[in-house]
Structure 1
């Protein structure tokens, strides 16, 4: 029963992993930008959630009304800068990592490097749970799971059913041919970057609901998020969601059956096997 509970808890947490990875995956797959600065946007969003909830007494979830517009603009501006400067795929890895380092330092200067956590008075979700028989579903991870499914499924439908979504898919296949048919890659790229920034705001809020914050936390997300991106298939949103849930459940099971220290080893072994057996991602065929 402990193993089942751990797998369920990991599965719910996997929703947050998928939401964090979605922005990285889609910008990499469509725009050919490896945007590590996305982690910085998540980090700032988490701290803004903490600030607004602790200082102004706003419900943490309602802080999205403030953080989403800010991150929407920030994500769009960031993509506009990448495009105007002609940043290539490889250079984007270096440039965005530098931006992430600057963001982490900025957060340290504003909020200090100490642990920060919302108190129970302003964050009732941290201690709430839903009990069904012998299984317990923490509200924070349950929210992350449900919101991730809703947002990623909605984004997938938008890519399939809307004109802008079909244009982005054409852009991902061949930018030159897409441009010949009148698709403005700059405008669409800025729009996509802005939407990814908005998802970073949601991911930051969900992370702040359940965790203490430190500036260096952004570096700790690297391994797990890139595991989700690679296993799900670069640019494949439903694959990213499936991979996030898989990684969460696997980490939860390994932590109980073996030890928490063994979880990263098993996770990265899975990445190596995926690259050897299915280099385009474990869930690409299911997404198609």
Structure 2
């Protein structure tokens, strides 16, 4: 029963990993930008959720009314800056890491480096759970899984069914040819940056519901989120969701069967093996290009 609980709980936690990773995967796959500042936007989204809920004494989910538009603008501005500087893929990694470091310092200056957590009277979700027989599922992980599913399904439908989505896929495969057919690269890239910022607001809100916050937390997300992006296939939104679940399940089962301290070792050993055997990603369709 413990293994079953760990497997299902890990799958739900994997939804949060996927929610964090989807924006990073899409911008990398479409715009050829490795945007580490995305972690900073998630961190800001988490702290804004905390601040709005505590200051206004409202349900933290309602903070999305403020954080989604705010981080949409921030994400669009960051992408505008990348386009303005005409950064290469490698240089975008360096510049975005600098932006992430600045963001973490600003967050630390505003909220301090101490742990922050929403009180229980404002955040009932932290202790809420759903019970099915002997299985218990925290409300926050169910919420993360549901939001990740909505974001991934929405992104997949937009990329496959809309003109803007087809234009983004064309831009990912050959920007020059896409431009020759009238695709406005800059406008689409800024729009995509904004949408990715909005997903960071969702991820930050969910994280704040179930975790204590500290500015250095953003650095802790690196390994797991990058593992989800690489295993899912860069730009593969459905693959990102699947790999998030896979990483969550593997971490949960190892922690339950062996020990929590061993989970990172087993996880990254499995990732190295997977990349050696299938470097394009576990869930990338052979011969497929661009984003899916």
Structure 1: distance between partners of 2:57 and 2:155? 31
Encode CA deviations 1:155-188: one digit per residue, 9 max, x unaligned.
1111000000000000000001111111011100
Q: What's the counterpart of residue 21 of structure 2?
A: 21
Alignment of 1:119-268 (within 5 A): 119-268=119-268
Q: What's the counterpart of residue 59 of structure 2?
A: 59
Q: What's the counterpart of residue 115 of structure 1?
A: 115
Q: Is the 1:26–1:236 contact (alpha carbons within 8 Å) kept by the matching residues of 2?
A: yes
Q: What's the counterpart of residue 38 of structure 2?
A: 38
Encode CA deviations 1:199-249: one digit per residue, 9 max, x unaligned.
000000000000000000000000000000000000000000000001001
Q: What's the counterpart of residue 70 of structure 1?
A: 70
- Alpha-carbon deviation of 1:285? 2.3
3-state DSSP class of the match of 1:131?
Answer: strand
3-state DSSP class of the match of 2:221?
Answer: helix
TM-score where L is the length of structure 2: 0.97
Structure 1: distance between partners of 2:14 and 2:138? 13
Structure 2: distance between partners of 1:270 and 1:167? 36
Matched, 1:9 2:3: no
> 5+ unaligned residues in a row in structure 2: which ranges?
none
Structure 2: distance between partners of 1:278 and 1:175? 27
TM-score where L is the length of structure 1: 0.98
Structure 2: distance between partners of 1:64 and 1:28? 25
Structure 2: distance between partners of 1:8 and 1:105? 36
3-state DSSP class of the match of 2:131?
Answer: strand
Q: Is the 1:227–1:267 contact (alpha carbons within 8 Å) kept by the matching residues of 2?
A: no
Structure 2: distance between partners of 1:167 and 1:181? 9
> 5+ unaligned residues in a row in structure 1: which ranges?
none
Structure 2: distance between partners of 1:283 and 1:262? 26
